[in-house]
DNA sequence: GTCTATACGAGGATAGAC
DNA sequence: GTCTATCCTCGTATAGAC
């Protein structure tokens, strides 16, 4: 148990500042200096800990992926039906966004869009997020639809998710999430047949 | 009839270079110098024609919107059914992308993502593209579904479109377009009822 | 209308002390 | 491990000639 830790280490403060600033203004547009100022740390500390700016971005993305995974987990556990778990990414996104109103959309797609040729360590994080998205949707789709339709359903819900985050970037965020969620529901209703609605459960 | 026009004016060459470079590497990451070099023009010419870098970006987006509108038009005319016209954005995107393989995704969403607070002239172009997207989808949705469901259908197809372009950014482009198109078909089949498939026509 | 040359600031990264 | 101070490159924009 840590007693009276006056100050978190500079590494932690840098990561927090990077997340708060870079995922709002964009990883490219945010200068290292501004992150340093917010963190109350020096340039030398940043470069000794993370190597360069890309290293800081990758570390911030890694932390973000952990947080997002937990938020998604919580929404999944709150669901009480197969479709509820498949749709859980949308309530998770809604909750997550409300805690981060300054952020326009997704830290991962935002980074992918901002950097033409990302460094290896950043690519790893982007792939990890993509893998998480598709693996989970595939698993839940299997519970909702038959195994022969599961991959197709998961792929289509992934389109709905990506459309949602880009809709957040281009317009009103709550509206975008509501529309994306609606698309997911329409997809399930269509792909699992008329009876699909019966699977929806009470968590909606 | 122009005879022996040795060289297009520098303004034209600057616009072409801006499109070729900025919409590939990103509007922020592409330095003005590189555009100047490609265009074979000088900095003074750029700033006297467009005011500043943002002005060049806005002008390039304006030109891009014209081109994209025409490409979409062509796909619409090639369609021979109401649903074919609603889905036409996907073949249009496929054709458009094949002519611009170096571009990862959408010039408009890419610009929206790259710039945190876009200048007024850039915002105008982003809004114009958004307006085009929703107005057209709304019109075609009216032909496919009843007027009471048209807005809902259009909104959902818009999610499919945005999910498609972001899917292009994050993964394989052809795969992303195929999946987005499939989502649109599923949405129509579901929202216009079982008979929806009958409306599909022969253009698919 | 277009060019050459340059001013000016910003941003990423490092050296060396404590 | 962290700080102060600094270097140096890059990028936007302008001045003035042709």
Parse chain B into domains and list their residue ranges.
64-192
Distance B81 CA to C15 C1' (A): 70
**Annotation: CATH topology of A60-195:** Tetracycline Repressor; domain 2 (1.10.357)
Give me chain B's average pLDDT, please.
91
Please indicate if any CB of chain A lies within 8 Å of the CB of B169.
yes
Chain segment B88-139, per-residue pLDDT in tens: 999 999 999 999 999 999 999 999 999 999 999 999 999 999 999 999 999 9
Please indicate if any CB of chain A lies within 8 Å of the CB of B132.
no
Question: Which tokens go with A21?
Answer: 């600033």
Give B164-195 as a DSSP string: HHHHHHHS-HHHHHHHHHHHHHHHHHHHT-GG
- Mean pLDDT across the stretch B168-189? 97
Shortest-distance nucleotide from B42 CA to C1': C3
- Tell me what pLDDT residue A7 has: 65
Give A115-139 as a DSSP string: -SS--HHHHHHHHHHHHHHHHHHHH
What does the pLDDT profile of chain A (204 residues) look like in tens digits?
333 344 678 899 999 999 999 999 999 999 999 999 999 999 999 999 999 999 999 999 999 999 999 999 999 999 999 999 999 999 999 999 999 999 999 999 999 999 999 999 999 999 999 999 999 999 999 999 989 999 999 999 999 999 999 999 999 999 999 999 999 999 999 988 644 444 444 344
Residue with tokens 């922020």: B28
Helices B147-170/B107-114 angle, 10° precision:
70
Enumerate helices (H) and strands (E) in chain A, giving the number of each.
10, 0
- B64-192 architecture in CATH? Orthogonal Bundle (1.10)
**With contacts defined as CB-CB under 8 Å, which chain A residues touch B164?**
159, 162-163
- Decide if A167 and B186 are in contact by the 8 Å CB cutoff: no
Of B162, B180, B196, which to mutate for an interface test with A (greatest number of A Cβ within 10 Å)? B162
Instruction: Identify, with chain letter, the residue nearest to nucleotide D16 (CA–C1').
Output: B44
- Tell me what pLDDT residue A10 has: 86
Between CA B140 and CA B187 the distance in angstroms is 14
Between CA B135 and CA B16 the distance in angstroms is 28
| Contact residues for B86 (Cβ-Cβ < 8 A; gap 6+) | B137, B140, B141, B143, B144, B153, B157, B184, B188
Alpha-carbon Rg for chain B, nearest whole angstrom, is 19
Between CA A57 and CA A122 the distance in angstroms is 7
Question: Which tokens go with B108?
Answer: 């408009």
**CA distances (Å), B129 to each of B108, B114, B134, in order?**
7, 16, 9
B42 touches strand C (CB under 7 A): yes
Please indicate if any CB of chain A lies within 8 Å of the CB of B31.
no
Between CA B203 and CA B184 the distance in angstroms is 15
Q: Return chain A residues 39..98 having CB < 7 Å to nucleic acid strand C.
A: 43-44, 47, 52-54
Instruction: Identify, with chain letter, the residue nearest to nucleotide D11 (CA–C1').
Output: B31
Reported for B171-180, long-range contacts at CB under 8 A and 24+ positions apart, including other chains, are B171/A130, B173/B97, B173/B104, B174/B94, B176/A159, B177/B90, B177/B93, B177/B94, B177/B97, B179/A155, B179/A156, B179/A158, B179/A159, B180/A159, B180/B90
State what percent of residues in chain B have pLDDT above 90.
Answer: 87
Instruction: Identify, with chain letter, the residue nearest to nucleotide D14 (CA–C1').
Output: B44
């Amino acid at each position: 148990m840590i007693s009276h830790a006056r100050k978190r280490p500079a590494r932690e403060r840098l990561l927090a500042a990077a997340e708060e600033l870079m995922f709002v203004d964009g990883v490219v547009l945010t200068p290292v200096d501004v992150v340093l100022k917010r963190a109350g740390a020096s340039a030398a500390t940043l470069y000794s800990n993370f190597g360069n700016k890309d290293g800081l971005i990758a570390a911030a993305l890694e932390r973000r992926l952990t947080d997002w995974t937990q938020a998604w987990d919580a929404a999944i556990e709150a669901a009480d039906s197969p479709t509820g778990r498949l749709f859980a990414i949308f309530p998770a996104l809604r909750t997550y966004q409300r805690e981060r109103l300054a952020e326009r959309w997704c830290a991962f797609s935002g980074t992918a869009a901002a950097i033409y040729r990302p460094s290896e360590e950043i690519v790893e994080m982007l792939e990890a997020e993509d893998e998480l998205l598709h693996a989970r949707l595939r698993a839940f789709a299997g519970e909702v639809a038959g195994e022969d339709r599961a991959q197709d359903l998961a792929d289509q819900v992934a389109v709905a998710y990506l459309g949602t985050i880009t809709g957040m970037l281009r317009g009103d965020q709550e509206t975008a999430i509501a529309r994306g969620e609606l698309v997911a529901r329409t997809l399930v209703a269509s792909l699992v047949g008329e009876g699909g609605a019966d699977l929806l459960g009470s968590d909606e």
